[in-house]
Each structure stands twice: as C-alpha cells, then as structure tokens.
Chains A and B, each alone.
Chain A
Amino acid sequence: MVWQYGRRVFWFGHNEDRRTIMVHVEAVREFVVENFLFGDGVNLKDDTSFLESGIIDSTGILELITFLEETYGIQIEDEELVPENMDSLQNVARFVARKVGVSRAGEPQDS
C-alpha cells in the first residue's frame, strides 16, 4: 500500500495474480455490503450480478465509481462502465487490477 497525492492507493508490483484479485474483491465486497446491503452480505457471491440481483441501481453505480476512483486513484472512463467491468465483485476486481497496471496470467495489460 502506498500514499499518492495524499490518498491511499493500492499498488502492487508485477506477478501479483489471484491474490491481488482477491484483495480487490474483499475491498469492494466491504463497500457494497456496507453501502447497499445494510451489512448483510451473506448472499453476495463473487459472481453475483449487481444488476440482476438489484443490489446496485443507477445511482448506486455512481457511488461505486466514486469509491473505486478515490480508493485506487484511477480514472474510470464512460466507455468502461459496462457489465463486463462492473457487474459483480470479481468483474470489478479484475477491472481494477487491470486499471492499476497489474497483469494476470493470460490477461492483457490495460493500455
């Protein structure tokens, strides 16, 4: 963990793979459970679709975006706001890992 521009920013070096993803999953899980599930995350699996389950609606996604941008020091572009990147804990975690420049075996670096 490092500090950048006065904000806590998660940064991992090369060759962080599944562990990195899991750390991101847990960080996002904590945020989602606290902000959208009133502390009850029992039914929230890593691949639970936020949209299909109704956990996060259109204003909720805005809160998630703000959380990710502030927590990870990243800028999320409009084109990146697609279910593939944002619609489950594991999708968000993979997306964040790519955005902060961590490579995972078999996945291309985000440019």
Chain B
Amino acid sequence: MDFHKNILQIDSKSEVQRICLFLQKHARAMKRDGVVIGLSGGVDSALSAAICVKALGKDNVFGLILPEKESNPVSADYAAKHAKELDIETETVDITPALEAFGTYEKRDKAIQQVFPEYNHECKSKITLPANLLARDAFNFFTLKIEDGKGKVKSARLDKQTLNGIVAATDSKQRTRMMHLYYYAERMNYLVCGTTNKTETIEGFFVKYGDGGVDIEPIGHLYKTQVYQLAEYLGVIREIIERAPSPDTFSFPVSDEEFYFRIPYETLDLLLYAWEHKIPVEEICEVMDLTQEQVKRAVRDFDAKYTATRHLRQLPPALA
C-alpha cells in the first residue's frame, strides 16, 4: 500500500455525498423522520449537523445544546451560532440540575478529596496523561491537576481507585446528555446522531452509553483531520474550526491531546492510519521523519488503548 503524508486527503464533495446517502438510507430503514444532534460547540458535532442538514433537510434536524456549570461558556455560544447558520431549530437545556440531582459534582469532588482534601467548589480540576509520547516514553498513567481558584496549581499521580471514582462521576455528564437526546428523539420519532470520529473510535475516546450511545455515526469513518477538511468544505463557522479540541468535561481546561491522545492530531491520524493498514515501521519512519523507537512507541500505545477499549465498540456479549 502506498503510504504518504497526504494519504488522509479526501474528495470533500464526494465524501459528503456518500455520507448523505448513508444517512438517508438508514433514516428510511429505521423509519425515522429526522435526527436529534447534541451540539457541543466543537467541530465534530458542527460537521455532523451540517451533513445532516444536507442529507435530510434543515426542518428534519433538531439541535440540542446541553451545557452544565463547568462547560466552557463559549461552547454553547458557538453551538448556537453554528445552528443559526444552518437555520435549524434548537433548544438549550442546562443539565446542571440533573447532574446535581445525581450527585455528579459531589461524587467527583469526594474522589478528588482523597488526594487533595482541600479541594472545594472554588477549585478547578482536570486529569491528564504524560505529555508528548513521541518526545518521551512513559506509561499511560493519569495525573490529577487542581487549581485553587487563586492561580495555584497542584498535581498528583492517581491510583486506580481515585481515577475510577473521578472518571465514573465525570462520565455521568455524557450519559446525562444521552438521556436528554433520547427523550427528544423518541418524542419526535428522530434518530440520535452520533458525533464520534474515527480517531476517537479507534482509541476508545468516548463514553459507553454516553456520547457512544447513539443511533447512527455519520463521521465515525473520518479521522479528526478529515473532519476538519469537511468542516472547511461545508463552511462550519471559523470559531469552531479554530478552537482547540477539548473534551469540555473538566472545570480546568484541558485539550484532547493532554487528556488522552498524547500526540497532536496531525501526526496522530497519520500514525493511526499506518497502524490500521499495517504499514511497515521503516516506511512510516521515512514518510513521517520519525525514528523507529518513536513509531514503535505510538504503535504500542494504539494497541494498548484499542485492546483496553474493545468492549466500548462491541455489543454486550450474550449466549446464543
């Protein structure tokens, strides 16, 4: 297979047409009248909405904006602005009361207080993996970073119990959004449109029955860099295209790279493509100007994440 730096370039026009046919086919097959889509203010949901409008018509696309008190305020603003450009109907529902009723913040804070007893509602928090995998090798261990509200930052490596406590509480944000999306979808006889891209799917960067709980994934075959290509083609607003990708889940701002991927998207996607297509290491090194050690490090990381998150991509096992 011919591997080169531009291998991820796609014909935007024909790709959009292909996805539109896909959406039309499955909406018909599932006898649904349209789609509900959660608009996060990020490029994936913005692109997904734009394609859905092209495929199904703007009157059959409903945008749901679901901020909570720790969301970046620009997220809802960008989502609303993009929805206005698409001329689709939207509704904004603040999910903070639902999260508070479930105890999301309380559960998360209790877990954090195992490490930092002083953590309170004035503080901010995030979790990160070791930076820049290609520059320096390290296992995937999570570090908790908190900011005390006055600019002072502290960090500590997490043990399994505390990590699980933080992740379980935080994942309830995405699962709460799923619940809201399905309420509207079922009421309107619509599909819930997913917004997970291929980079995220391969590496398991989505929440089981959270943002992974959807009826259809129109961009699930696109690497992140390809998402940007199509977003440019379809005229997604500049603010969204230029915004640094982020899970927008933690009160302390964190990028996708810091939180999970450890490699910038432009390099990551090419390496993932090479990994997926079993391109020989020597060829990867030559095309991408990387050392064998760097490529092997990346491949090892992909193998580990793909294996560990396999269950996210499968239906629950059952006996025949």
Contact of A58 among B142, B143, B300, B303 (CB under 8 A): B142
CA distance A95 to B164 in the complex (A): 27
How distant is the Cα of A58 from the Cα of B141 in the complex, in angstroms? 6
Chain B 149-189 against A: per-residue CB contact (8 Å), 1 yes, 0 no?
00000000111100110000000000000000000000000
Taking CB atoms, residues of chain B closer than 8 Å to A78 are: 130, 138, 141, 143, 157
B21 within 8 A of A: no
Q: How far is the CA of A78 from the CA of B143 in the complex (A)?
A: 9
How many residue pairs link A and B with beta carbons under 8 A? The number is: 55
- List the A side residues contacting B300 at CB < 8 Å: 51-52, 83
Q: Is the interface of A mostly helix, strand, loop or mixed?
A: helix
Q: Is the CB of A62 within 8 A of B304?
A: no
Residue of A nearest to B140 (CB): A58
Given A51-B304, A58-B308, A62-B158: A81 and B139 interface contact (C-beta under 8 Å):
yes
| Interchain CB contact (< 8 A) of A62 among B130, B137, B138, B141 | B141
| Chain B, residue nearest A49 (CB) | B300
Interface: A59 (CB within 8 A):
yes
A61: which of B140, B164, B303 is its contact (CB, 8 Å)? B140
Known contacts A62-B141, A78-B157, A82-B139, A57 near B307 by CB under 8 Å: yes
- Does the CB pair A65–B141 fall under 8 Å? yes
Taking CB atoms, residues of chain B closer than 8 Å to A63 are 160
Interface residues of A in 65-111 (CB under 8 A from B): 65-66, 78-79, 81-83, 86
What is the interface residue range for chain A against chain B? 10 to 19
Check A57–B160 contact: CB distance below 8 A: no
Q: In the bound complex, do residue B308 and residue A62 qualify as a contact, i.e. CB atoms below 8 Å apart?
A: no
Q: Give the most central of B159, B160, B307: most A CB within 10 Å.
A: B160
A6 at the interface (CB under 8 A from B): no
Cβ A66 vs Cβ B159 within 8 A: yes
28 contacts between A and B (CB under 8 A): A51-B300, A52-B300, A52-B303, A54-B307, A54-B308, A57-B140, A57-B307, A58-B139, A58-B140, A58-B141, A58-B142, A58-B304, A59-B163, A62-B142, A62-B159, A62-B160, A63-B160, A65-B157, A66-B159, A78-B138, A78-B157, A79-B138, A81-B130, A81-B138, A81-B141, A82-B138, A82-B139, A83-B139
The 6 closest A-B pairs by CB, nearest first: A58-B140, A57-B308, A62-B160, A81-B139, A54-B307, A59-B160
Given contacts A51-B304, A57-B304, A59-B163, 9 further A-B contacts (CB under 8 A): A51-B139, A54-B308, A62-B142, A62-B163, A63-B160, A65-B159, A66-B159, A81-B141, A82-B139
